[in-house]
Copies of this chain bind each other. A is one copy, B any other.
Amino acid sequence: MNQQTAPLFEALAGRRAKGETSFHVPGHKFGAQLEPEELASYGPVMGIDYTEIEGLDDLHHPEGVILEAERLAAECFGAERSYFLVGGSTAGNLALITAVCGRGERILVQRNAHKSVIHGLMLAGAEAVFLQPELDPDTGLAAGVSLHTVKRALEAYPDAKALFLTNPNYYGMGVDLRPYADAAHQAGMPLLVDEAHGAHFGFHPAVPASALSCGADGVVQSTHKMLTAMTMGAMLHLQGDRLDRRRVEQRLAMLQSSSPSYPLMASLDLARRLAATQGRNLLELRIGWLAGLLKDLDRLRFIRPVRRIPGTSPYETLDPFKITLYDSSSSLTGFQLQERLGQSGIITEMADDRHVLLACSLATGKEELDRLFQVLQLLERDLAGNRDMGGEAAIPVVPSVQELLQQKDSAASDIGDPVPMTMEIRSTGVTAVPLEEAIGRPSAETVIPYPPGIPLLFAGEVIRPAAAQRIRQLARAGARFQGGLQDPSGCSILILSENGE
């Protein structure tokens, strides 16, 4: 196929050039009422903000330019069938899970999955068997699930409908998915992968292999995250015959807008064209720049990047396009580091207690990396000055939290035992009760200590003694929780009340 073309984008641009009169939606009529200041941002894009008129195909029953664009994407990403998503990877995860898993059916799912995966399980009414991921001792972050854990689960739950993994994680840490795909297939299950952060995988030898190339059956990618689509543009890729395509298509039609955005869809077409025709070269150039940056960072004493430690790191690959920095002098927390960078105009992706995460892509420029390093050098000077002045470490070093989280043998392994849990949309009321009384009852809160970002409890999950104990310990030790705890002291917790509202 000719990857130089962008059939959907070209159809929109061509259509606009015809100057037809719109008696169809959208109501903005190509931006006719935009004020000058609005035109500067929206004018051009409103000109291609079309709807399903003759010649512009239909996302939910593609036969023309959308199907052509999706076929080019399938070829480019190595799928048999690719679907454009206008609802982000969220839509893809919801559709995949509801397509493979009916009410009460089992599915094996990595516990530190994106919330859209959890929501998919709830919509499906699945019996989820959550698999505990490995902890990276160096950073305290959660990596992927070990092959050992997966194999054990495949043996214990041979009736599960699928194995659902997230790879890589937000920080770019990943595993080689080939043996996982093989193990799932031997057990007669499809491997589904949330590869939201890996749309660029496989386009250069220096980035990890893509999930599709490793044999995954269904893969969701955020084309907007590491490639160049508009935000919310994503793709769902399928291969093989382990998934029922018609069912996946039905779920997508059910969960996505019946008025999908054409600019968004066409930006997927353009992102695919760029990746297919220039991806390798653009990545190569940046891989060189990023290697140079890492070398430069070696000259810094305090600000350090996370690097994979062979033999120790529980992950096998680290995406070179994700840079995770931390202050090894413990003067700045990750949040403070993020704030300091922001004050210098370096806007980062995310921070946790210790780290700040920077996301590069094939559109990152050399001058931006240079600017980053200049700012880091200035920061380093400040940190050194602070150190020389006898400044104290400002970081809330809570070794007990770290230790608690890394105690794999006691409570954590109990908590992590894969026990099927019924997921559903709940409409019952909630009540706060003392933690001791909550044992044996379903939590109304999702409790995620961060890092490592592994849910200790999902909403709806029955609170086991070990989990209650761990929550109390962590809260007392001053751990942070994603989204917070209703009671930060950890003395009480919200549970689902039995009588509804």
Could you tell me which residues of chain A, from 109 to 143, have a CB within 8 Å of some CB in chain B?
A: 114-116, 119, 122-125
A26-B225, A51-B231 given as contacts; is B345 within 8 A of A274 (CB)? no
Pair A42/B270 contact, Cβ less than 8 Å: yes
Query: Could you tell me the distance in whole angstroms from the C-beta of A56 to the nearest C-beta in chain B?
Result: 10
Counting contact residues on chain A (CB < 8 A from B), the size range is 35 or more
Would you call A501 an interface residue if the criterion is a C-beta within 8 Å of the partner chain's C-beta atoms?
yes
Count of this chain's copies in the oligomeric assembly: 2
Q: Does A21 contact B (CB under 8 A)?
A: yes
Q: How far is the CA of A87 from the CA of B257 in the complex (A)?
A: 5
In contact, B363 and A87 (Cβ under 8 angstroms): no
Q: Is A349 an interface residue (CB 8 A)?
A: yes
Contact A255 B255 (CB under 8 A): yes
**Chain B CB within 8 A of A1 CB:** no
A230 touches B28 (CB 8 A): yes
Q: Are B274 and A33 in contact (CB under 8 A)?
A: yes
Q: At the interface, yes or no: A409 with Cβ under 8 Å from chain B?
A: no
Say whether A424 contacts B371, CB under 8 Å: no
Q: Is the CB of B254 within 8 A of A119?
A: yes
With A102-B427, A256-B87 already in contact, the answer to whether A371 and B21 are too (CB < 8 A) is: yes
Give Cα A159 to B365, complex, Å: 61
A:211-241 near B, CB below 8 Å: 222, 224-232
Which residue in B44, B51, B53, B274 is a CB contact (below 8 Å) of A40? B44
Whether a CB of chain B sits under 8 angstroms from the CB of A19 is: yes
Q: Which residues of the other chain, B, contact A25 by a CB distance below 8 angstroms?
A: 222, 224-226, 231, 349, 359, 361
A29 contacts B by Cβ under 8 Å: yes
- Check A348–B23 contact: CB distance below 8 A: yes
- Which chain B residues lie closer than 8 Å to A45 at the CB level? 41-42, 44-45, 230, 263
- Residue from B27, B53, B225, B372 within 8 A of A363 (CB atoms): B27
- The residue in A23, A256, A278, A348 that gathers the most chain B C-beta atoms within 10 A of its C-beta is A23
Contact of A257 among B91, B227, B247 (CB under 8 A): B91
Q: How far is the CA of A199 from the CA of B26 in the complex (A)?
A: 12
User: Given A42-B45, A261-B230, are A24 and B425 also a contact pair (CB < 8 Å)?
Assistant: no
A311 CB, nearest partner CB in chain B, Å = 30
* Interface membership of A260, Cβ < 8 A: yes
CB-based nearest B residue for A227 = B27
A224-B20 contact given A13-B41, A123-B254, A425-B98, CB 8 Å threshold: no
Q: Are A363 and B20 in contact (CB under 8 A)?
A: no
With contacts A33-B274, A254-B119 taken as known, whether A20 is within 8 angstroms of B51 at the C-beta atoms is no
Interface string of A27-66 (1 = CB under 8 A from B): 1110111100110111111111111011000000000000
CA distance A18 to B346 in the complex (A): 11
Q: Which residues of B contact A53 (CB under 8 A)?
A: 347
A306: shortest Cβ distance to chain B, in Å? 15
Interface residue ranges of A85-100 to B (CB < 8 Å): 86-91, 94, 98-99
Q: List 8 A-B contacts (CB under 8 A).
A: A21-B372, A27-B361, A28-B230, A29-B365, A31-B363, A54-B347, A125-B125, A225-B259
